[in-house]
Structure 1
Amino acid sequence: MRTWDQPPDGPFERSDLDRLRIPRQQLAEWLALGAVVHPVRGVYLAERCAGDTGARAAALARRLPPGAAVARSTAAWLQGFDPRAPDQADAPLPLECVVPVGATPPRRPGVVARQSLLLPGDVVDVDGVPVTSPDRTALDLLRHLRPHMGLAVLDAMTAASAAAPDALLERLAGMPGQRSVARARRLVELCEPASESYGESWLRLRLVDAGFPRPEPQIWIHDRAGRGLYRLDLGWRERKVATEYDGVEFHGSPAARAADLRRRDRLAREHGWTVVGVGRGEVLGHSLALELGVGHLLGIAPTIRRRTW
C-alpha cells in the first residue's frame, strides 16, 4: 500500500481517499498541520498548491453544476493570457465562473460566480477543466475589464490566433442592448496582433483616445541597401514621429536607458525620426503631457480633456 508523505498535487475529496489509498487519519493529520486547504467546499488541495491558479480551478471544477465553466480572468489565465493590471501583478486571481441561468452557483470566499447564457461552443476543456472558449473569454473581458487591459489581452489573444476579430464582431452584433457592447466593439476594432507587449497596447489606446490617427505598429527603418536597422513600436511615417513603450524589464536599467538615448539620437540624426519614449507611469498616469507632446510633434491638438481609464 502506498504511503503519502505529503498531500497529492491535484484536488481531491473524501470520496477519493480509498482510490488514492490515503488513510482518513492521514487526512486528519494534514488538516491539523495546515498541509491541505479548502479552495472550494468539500474539495481539498495541498497547501503548497494554494497559489496555483490551475490547481484552484481544477478544484472549483469539481463543484460546478452541469453546463457551467470557469470564466473571465481565470479562463484567460488558463488559456495563457494574464488579465491582471500592473498594480495587481502579484495578487492571486479570483476564481471566476459562470453557471447556466437557473443553476445554483457555488458559494465560497474567493469564488466569484455569475449566471449567464452559455451558447453551444462557449465551453471548452482545458486540462480537464470546463473553461469558456477563447472567443467567449475575450468578449467577457472586453466588456468587464478596464479598457486598456481588455485591449491588451485581446491583442495578445489575436497575436496567438486564439481569438478572431471578425468572429468577435459578429457575436457582438447579436448582443444589442447588452452591457458595454459598444465599448467591446470599439476595442475589437482597435485590436492589433502586431503589438508585442501590454505596454504597447496601452500606449496605442491613449494615442487613439487623444484623437490622433491610429499609429502604425512595428515600423522598420532600413538603410540604403534595404537592411532593417531599427524597429519602432508605434508611429506615423508621413511625419516621421514615433512613440515607444519603455517597460521596466528591458528598459529600466541605467545601461538600457543610455542605449535607448543613443539609438534615438541616431534615428534623429541619420534618419530624421523623432522618437518619444514613455514609461508605465506616463502611459497609465492621468497627466496629459504625453498627448500634448505627441500632438505638438504631429501638429494635431489632442481632443481628450481627461483620461477615463
Structure 2
Amino acid sequence: MDLHIRRPDITVPVRVDPRGLTGPTPGQARGPRWRRTGGAGTGMFVPSHVCGDAEPQRIVEAVASAPEGSAATGWAALHWQGARWFPGRTARGEPLPVPLAIGDRAHLVRRTGVQLWRDWLFDGDIIDVDGLPVTRPERSICAAALRARSLEDTVRIICMAMANDLADLMEIGAYAARIRGRPHTRRLNAAIDLSDENVWSPQEVTMLMRWRRQRDGVRLLCNRPIFDLQGNHLLTPDLFDPAAGVIGQYDGIVHTELRVRRRDLEAEELCRDLGLEVVSMVSRDLRDLGSFDHRLEAAYRRSARRPRSTGWTLEQPHWWTDTSTVALRRSLDDESRRIWLRRLAS
C-alpha cells in the first residue's frame, strides 16, 4: 500500500526499484543498509538505521505491507489518533501485534508483529488520519472490545477511549447496534451500559466495577467535583456515592511521593470535616481485591454512623466549567482544554 504520511519522524516503507530511484535496488535490498518490513513476501523496506520499535513506526510498517482497502484498527488506530491509554504494549512492556482490519474477504498469511482481523468493514469505516488509513473510532473501539477477555476489560476499553474524546457513549452504542448478533455483542452492550464518559484511568474502572459488584444498584459518580456552600472547589474524588457519603480514591505508585502523599492526607482530613468517608484502593489490591472489599464495607459502616453533613454540594458554581462528558470536552477551545483538562493530560 502506498502511504503519504503527514507526520514527522516516520519513515514510510518502499518497494524495491530496479533503478534505485524510489527504493532500493534488488542488490541493495539484500545488503545491510536496508531492513525488510512486514515479513517475507511483502517486498517493503526501510533503511536499516530506522528503528521499528516505536509504536507509530510499527503501525505504519504494518499498514504499508497490507493490501489496499485495509486499515489499522483496535489499539493501533486509537493510538494513532492520540489515545494515551492504548500504548500498544503489555504491562511488562512487550509490544502488542498491530491489528489490521482487512475485511472478511481478504486472505493473507500470518505476519510477525501483525494481527489480521478478518471482520466486517462498512462503508465509511476507514478514514484517513495524517495519511494513514485507520478505522474510525467507534469501529476501532467495538472491534477491540469484542476481543476483550472479560466484561471489566470491555468496560475499560470503552472508558479509556472516551477519556480521549474519540467517541461518546451514544456513538459507540449506535455502532454496536449495527453489529448486533455478532459474537460477544451482548457483553459489548452490557459494557456500554456500565461505562462512564468521565473515568480518568484504567485503575478507576477496576474500582468502579468492584464497588458496583459489592454494592449492587449504588449510584456512583466518576470524578465529580465537590464544592462548599460558597462555591469554592474542595476536591474531585475518583468515585463518589453521594447518598452514603463515601468517597473512593485510587492511590497508585505516584501517591507514595511526599508531595502527593501530603496532598492526599489533607484531602482525607477535609473529607472528615465534611462528614465524608474515604476508601482507597492501592496497586497491591489489584492482586487481591478482597482487602478493598473489607475497607469498602468498613467505610459504609462508619458512614452510616455519621450525622449527615450539609457543608458540601455538587451544584457547580457559575465560574466552573463542566467537563464530565465527551461532548462538553469537545466543545472546549485549546486554552480551555489546557486549563480544565490538566489532570486528564497528566
Q: What TM-score do the two structures reach when normalised by structure 2?
A: 0.73
1:15 is aligned, of 11, 14, 17, to: 17
CA distance 1:112–1:153, shift in 2 (3 Å):
same
Question: 1:70–1:97: 8 Å Cα contact kept in structure 2?
Answer: yes
2:244 is aligned, of 239, 243, 246, to: 239
CA distance 1:62–1:226, shift in 2 (3 Å):
closer
CA distance 1:102–1:285, shift in 2 (3 Å):
same
Q: What secondary structure sits across from 1:136 in the alignment?
A: helix
What's the CA shift string for 1:20-73, capped at 9, x where partnerless? Answer: 476666555434xxx635334322234542112222222222232232222222
CA distance 1:100–1:230, shift in 2 (3 Å):
closer
Q: Does 2:54 match 1:49?
A: no
For 1:38, the aligned partner's letter is T
CA distance 1:211–1:178, shift in 2 (3 Å):
farther
CA distance 1:216–1:17, shift in 2 (3 Å):
farther
CA distance 1:126–1:166, shift in 2 (3 Å):
same
Q: Does 2:213 match 1:205?
A: no
Runs (5+) with no aligned partner, structure 2:
1-9, 302-346
Alpha-carbon distance between aligned partners in 2 of 1:93 and 1:15, rounded to the nearest angstrom: 31
| 1:87 CA displacement | 5.3
Q: What secondary structure sits across from 2:20 in the alignment?
A: helix
Alignment partner, residue 248 of structure 1: 253
2:148 is aligned, of 145, 150, 171, to: 145
Aligned residues: 286
| 1:89 CA displacement | 5.5
Alpha-carbon distance between aligned partners in 1 of 2:87 and 2:256, rounded to the nearest angstrom: 21
Question: 2:158–2:195: 8 Å Cα contact kept in structure 1?
Answer: yes
For 1:36, the aligned partner's letter is R
CA distance 1:17–1:75, shift in 2 (3 Å):
farther
| 1:125 CA displacement | 1.5
Alignment partner, residue 39 of structure 1: 38
Runs (5+) with no aligned partner, structure 1:
1-7, 300-309
Question: 1:73–1:96: 8 Å Cα contact kept in structure 2?
Answer: yes
Question: 1:94–1:112: 8 Å Cα contact kept in structure 2?
Answer: yes
Q: What secondary structure sits across from 2:181 in the alignment?
A: coil
Between 1:155-164 and 1:96-105, the stretch displaced more is 155-164
Alignment partner, residue 91 of structure 1: 94
2:80 is aligned, of 78, 81, 99, to: 78
CA distance 1:173–1:295, shift in 2 (3 Å):
farther
Question: 2:224–2:237: 8 Å Cα contact kept in structure 1?
Answer: yes
Q: What TM-score do the two structures reach when normalised by structure 1?
A: 0.81
Question: 1:69–1:123: 8 Å Cα contact kept in structure 2?
Answer: yes
Question: 2:88–2:96: 8 Å Cα contact kept in structure 1?
Answer: no
Q: Give the structure with the higher percent helix.
A: 1
